[in-house]
Structure 1
């Protein structure tokens, strides 16, 4: 792995962990609140889109953010933007579909454990970003990271972000989806990735 790869991967690891947290835990979670405040005060991010988003996230009402989190990530009667990959890639639009099983095997192969204490699909968007971060933390070869992105995450995540932008009730979640989608595009470009062509059912 070259030094330039290391530098790029260090940045990728950090942002994957940040976005993973923001897309797995509620924005009102105390750790996320601490993270958002730290990002908003980071001089290196001055005048960036991320800092503009932080201002939005810190000013919207906690009740509105919690309601949006429930609708987007936990689900009422209808989930308008399900955060699990197999809902998009499985013809029956189910969780724990074939793509989840394939992704689980990939994680096992590289010793990645995402024990959340709940029986939940590993292909939840935030958990997948945590896995990207963990692979880099383990100093896996960049090709391993590219495989996760090419075969498992980038195949469906752009459609997911579109749906979040369409259906989120708060600006915080609408803008966050746009930010992470743009970041994924940059990562795809920097790592020269062409995601596998997968038929999507959502």
Structure 2
């Protein structure tokens, strides 16, 4: 399994595709969901667990209870009256800090232009962080065109996701989500460094 802290220039589309699927699932479904339970089981069986960056996350999952993980998922991804770390890009990139904002529309246009469909069966913003990682994976599998994948990252994801992940790490009530946020932040930075990406300089409002 890829070392998520790898900044090698050899970081391949296949590596990013695989990790986008894993992290997309971990940030879209509760950790108790069957998809994520399968991922966690796979991670536990990795021979290089102590070296690929996942050790702290896996150890935390084993320590936190399912109830605690589900409560944290609700706090972080669904929320009540106040969301401490909203997972939608437009909350960060639009001055009004609303869902379905202008940046969501721009992302939707980009996805449609590249024949990417994120059909979840619900009316929800396409710029949910986990969904955007699924979009990265789909784009890699459908186009195999690095420049298009890079544009999704530089124009639509990287301008806000590091701030989002900082907030998840800060406000998570469980060690599991704290470690997961730190892990994915390092992974995003490793892609940015390895591929020498220059994210759009957009104002972040949170």
TM normalised by structure 1 equals 0.94
- Unaligned segments of structure 1, at least 5 residues: none
Residue 18 of structure 1 pairs with residue 22 of structure 2: yes
Alpha carbons of structure 1 residues 182 and 30: separation in structure 2 relative to 1, 3 Å: same
Gaps of 5+ in 2: 1-7
In the TM superposition, structure 1's runs of 4+ consecutive aligned residues that sit over 6 Å from their partners are 4-7
Listed one character per residue, the Cα deviations across residues 16-38 of structure 1 (whole Å, up to 9, x for unaligned) are 11000000000111110111111
Q: Which has the higher contact order (CA 8 A, sep 6+)?
A: 2
Q: Which residue of 1 aligns with 2:146?
A: 142
Q: 1:35 aligns with which of 33, 36, 39?
A: 39
CA-CA distance at 1:190 after TM superposition: 1.1
Shift of 1:140: 3.0
Q: Is the 8 A contact 2:56 2:179 kept in 1?
A: no
1:123 aligned counterpart, secondary structure = coil
- Measure, in 1, the Cα distance between the counterparts of 2:49 and 2:143: 26
Which structure has the highest helix share of the two? 1
Query: What pairs up with 1:111-150 in 2 under 5 angstroms?
Result: 111-150=115-154
CA offset digits 1:178-202 (Å, max 9, x no partner): 0000000000011110100000110
TM-score by length of 2: 0.93
Match of 1:92 in 2: 96
Aligned residues: 199
